[in-house]
C-alpha cells in the first residue's frame, strides 16, 4: 500500500499538488501530513470518530471528488474540518483527553499500520491543519491517496 497525504490548499493549489503526486510525488510540501499505509477510507473513519467525540456525529464525513482530472484527489467536507479542529479545544466533563481518545480509537481500527502513540501525532497534526483553514483565503483540506 502507498501513502495518503492530507494538506491545506486552495482549489487550484490542490489540483497542482495532486498532479505532482500523481506523477510520482515529492516530499510533503507546505501544510501537509503524509501517512504511510492508509487510504482515504481510514481518513473517513477518523472523521467519523472525531465527529462523535465532539458530539457532531451523524454529519456527512464522506470525502468528495474534487475534479475529474484526478481521481486520487478528494476534498474533506466542512463538517469533518470543524470536527477535527474542535479536537484541539473540546472540553469534556469527565476525565480524559478527547484527542487522545480519538487517536486510540483510530489506531484500534482494523489493519491500521500504526499504534496509538503514532496515531496521536497524526491526529494532532491533522487537527492543527483543520484549525488553520481560512475561508478568507479560500483554503480547504484535501486528501490525496495513492
Amino acid 11: pLDDT: 93
* 15 — pLDDT class (breaks 50, 70, 90): very high
Amino acid 93: pLDDT: 64
User: H-type helices in 9-134, by residue range?
Assistant: 11-22, 40-53, 78-86, 98-107, 116-131
Indicate the angle between helix axes 98-107 and 40-53, nearest 10 degrees: 140
Span 134-146, pLDDT tens digits: 888 899 999 999 8
Give the predicted TM-score (pTM) of the model. 0.92
Query: What mean pLDDT value characterizes the chain?
Result: 91
Span 41-87, pLDDT tens digits: 999 999 999 999 998 888 889 999 998 888 899 999 999 999 999 99
**Mean pLDDT across the stretch 23-48?**
90
On the 0-12 / 13-18 / 19+ scale of CB atoms within 10 A, 86 is buried
For the cut 90, the answer to whether the pLDDT of residue 24 exceeds it is: no
* 26 — pLDDT class (breaks 50, 70, 90): confident
Single out the residue of 117, 124, 110 nearest to residue 37, CA to CA: 110
Span 87-105, pLDDT tens digits: 998 876 665 689 999 999 9
For the cut 90, the answer to whether the pLDDT of residue 120 exceeds it is: yes
Which set of grid coordinates corresponds to residue 51? 465527529
Question: CA 55 to CA 101: how far, in whole Å?
Answer: 14
Amino acid at each position: 500500500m502507498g501513502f495518503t497525504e492530507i494538506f491545506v490548499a486552495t482549489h487550484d493549489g490542490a489540483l497542482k499538488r495532486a498532479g505532482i503526486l500523481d506523477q510520482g510525488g515529492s516530499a510533503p510540501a507546505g501544510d501537509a501530513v503524509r501517512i504511510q499505509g492508509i487510504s482515504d477510507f481510514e481518513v473517513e473513519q477518523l472523521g467519523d470518530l472525531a465527529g462523535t467525540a465532539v458530539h457532531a456525529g451523524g454529519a456527512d464525513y464522506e470525502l468528495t471528488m474534487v475534479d475529474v482530472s484526478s481521481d486520487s484527489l478528494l476534498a474533506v467536507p466542512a463538517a469533518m474540518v470543524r470536527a477535527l479542529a474542535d479536537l484541539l479545544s473540546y472540553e469534556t466533563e469527565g476525565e480524559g483527553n478527547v484527542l487522545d481518545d480519538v487517536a486510540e480509537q483510530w489506531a484500534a481500527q482494523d489493519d491500521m499500520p500504526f499504534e496509538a502513540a503514532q496515531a496521536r501525532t497524526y491526529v494532532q497534526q491533522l487537527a492543527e491543519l483543520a484549525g488553520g483553514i481560512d475561508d478568507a483565503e479560500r483554503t480547504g483540506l484535501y486528501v490525496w491517496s495513492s
